[in-house]
Amino acid sequence: MNFQSIVGRIRTALIFVALHIITTVLPSQAGPLLTEKLAYSEVTVQNPQDPEFSSFWKDELNDVDWVGPRGVKVYRRWFFNADGRRLLVTMLSAGVACGIRECPVRIQTELGQRVLETMACDQPDLHEISIDRLSFVACGVPHAIPQAGPRDSFETRDVRNYSHNGSILRASFYKSGAVRIEYDELRKGLPPELRGAVLFQGGMDKRGTVVGTAYTFKSGCSPAPYAVQGRLGRKGELTLLGDAPIRDGRTCDVLGFAPGSPNARLTFVDIGWDD
């Protein structure tokens, strides 16, 4: 074997070693995970019957100090997972339930199925979701979100936040064309049990025409349904029209339906996307 052949083999071996180092070492030296803030909704909870507590944390009742100086707060935010599901992340901030620097965090599906449960830093302003929607990140610490299927394999398309009569509503749009609008943050004066109530459910065609059933609410009564229709505007705005129920002032009875009812025209203003 001549000198040039030996040099050639050494060069090839060095190239192989260098490639091996690049493929095995560099991934562990990758740049920071790209994330975006969750921007939680924050609710101060006064008692165990509050829907924000009973809906997500009622099993933690014995681990909550209701009179302690920390108080009891629930943080929550909806977002889309990488597989297309709409998931809810919620954190409980309360004495006993939280440690010195960490509080319990849960991620669940729309139907309440638990996806992830962990302890995370107690600074909600530093909670984020990775851009690829594969990780929940708290104070820089990533927590992998279990996936139920391949990317975009589920039917949820997007969620919009609507302003309606001083309240914030969450509108869910699905690839099937189904639409659901429910109360998310209530204006002053509305009963707390209205949070999460469905105001409209129906469908939307490819032209943006929305048709379905809206509901009016009266304390102590079942929601009263009525037919409405409208059209989704270019800026996401939505107006639904339909003869609305007229209730008996003393009972839950519906006396009839009228176009002049305050609920005959429902106006929703798009205030941004819910990530």
**pLDDT tens-digit profile, the chain (275 residues):** 444 444 444 444 443 444 343 333 334 345 567 999 998 989 999 999 888 898 899 999 999 999 988 899 999 998 888 887 888 999 999 999 999 999 999 999 877 889 999 999 999 999 999 998 899 999 999 999 998 877 766 665 677 889 999 999 988 888 778 888 988 888 888 887 787 788 999 999 988 899 999 999 998 888 999 999 999 888 888 999 999 999 998 999 999 999 999 999 999 998 864 44
The two counts, helices (H) then strands (E), for the chain are 2, 19
Residues forming CATH 2.40.128 domain(s) in the chain: 156-273
CA distance 19 to 103: 43
Class level of CATH domain 156-273: mainly beta
| pTM > 0.85 | no
Please classify residue 210 by burial: count the beta carbons closer than 10 Å to its beta carbon, then call 0-12 exposed, 13-18 middle and 19+ buried: buried
- Token digits for 51? 């829907």
Strands (E), 126-197: 127-130, 135-138, 141-144, 156-164, 167-174, 178-185
- The pLDDT, as a whole number, for residue 196 is 78
CA distance 209 to 120: 43
- Contact of 58 with 48, CB cutoff 8 Å: yes
Other C-beta atoms lying within 10 Å of the C-beta of residue 140 = 11
